[in-house]
């Protein structure tokens, strides 16, 4: 007589690598390459005049007029504590989508240059190493190993979160 054994059902949760899989825009800041999911990218535009806004955090470079809409622009070098440098012909603004108050708000991020669009597979991704910083980098989703180089995979919404910035974006 066979006895039925009740085993709890096992729920499969996607691994961080599976969640990160897909197409990513690769851009440079200094000598490092970063990646953001292309679904967060609205457009890529040449560098243009940016109107500075007084009394904003140092990483807020200012605002631009994008087809009649005021869009805040963040300098990622400053946000990440990377030394400023002069703009080049490759410097551009990547306009990303940010969810604010149930709606979508475009935000520009200044990068040194866009490299390419790559598709990441689960085996390309590793979890973020433990630097002993206790969650200081919640915006780093993982590390992608592609073409012999490491790309830092960002959660761009987390990068852009912050009380001062969110208030500024909500007013735009």
Q: What is the 3-state secondary structure (H, E, C) of 125-172?
A: EECCCCCCCCCCCCCEEEEEEECCEEEEEECHHHHHCCHHHHHHHHHC
- pLDDT, residue 162, reads 67
Whether 112 contacts 30, CB under 8 Å:
yes
Domain count of the fold of the chain: 1
Q: Is the pLDDT of residue 131 over 70?
A: no
CA dihedral 149, 151, 152, 153 (to 10 degrees): -150
Strands 69-75 and 103-111: parallel
Residue 109 belongs to domain spanning: 16-171
- pLDDT, residue 132, reads 60
Q: Is the pLDDT of residue 88 over 90?
A: yes
- pLDDT, residue 137, reads 65
Residues 93, 111, 143, 163, CA torsion sign: negative
- pLDDT, residue 146, reads 84
Radius of gyration of the chain from Cα atoms? Answer: 19
- pLDDT, residue 10, reads 37
35 falls within a domain: yes
5 falls within a domain: no
- Terminus-to-terminus CA distance in the chain, angstroms? 72
pTM of the model: 0.80
pLDDT in tens, 2-60: 444 444 443 333 344 446 778 999 999 999 999 999 999 999 999 999 999 999 999 99
Which stretch of DSSP H or E encloses residue 164? helix 163-171
3 falls within a domain: no
- pLDDT, residue 9, reads 40
10 falls within a domain: no
Whether 14 contacts 119, CB under 8 Å:
no
Q: Tell me the C-alpha distance between 98 and 106, whole Å.
A: 6
99 falls within a domain: yes
| CATH number (domain holding residue 48) | 2.40.50.180
155 falls within a domain: yes
Tokens linked to 146: 């592609």
CB-based burial label for 16 (10 Å; 0-12, 13-18, 19+): middle
**Helix, strand, or coil here: 49?**
coil
């Amino acid at each position: 007589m066979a006895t039925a054994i009740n085993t709890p059902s096992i729920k499969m949760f996607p691994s961080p690598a599976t969640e990160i899989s897909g197409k990513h825009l690769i851009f440079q800041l200094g000598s490092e390459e970063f990646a953001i999911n292309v679904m967060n990218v609205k457009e890529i535009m040449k560098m243009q005049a940016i109107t500075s806004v007084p009394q904003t955090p140092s990483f807020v470079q200012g605002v631009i007029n994008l087809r009649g809409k005021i869009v805040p622009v963040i300098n990622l070098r400053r946000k990440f504590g990377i030394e400023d440098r002069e703009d080049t012909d490759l410097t551009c603004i990547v306009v990303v989508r940010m969810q604010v108050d149930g709606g979508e708000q475009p935000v520009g991020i200044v990068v040194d240059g866009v490299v390419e669009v790559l598709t990441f597979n689960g085996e390309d991704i590793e979890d973020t190493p433990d630097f002993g910083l206790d969650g200081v980098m919640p915006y780093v989703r993982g590390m992608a190993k592609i073409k012999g180089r490491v790309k830092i995979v960002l959660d761009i919404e987390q990068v852009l979160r912050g009380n001062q910035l969110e208030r500024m974006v909500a007013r735009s």
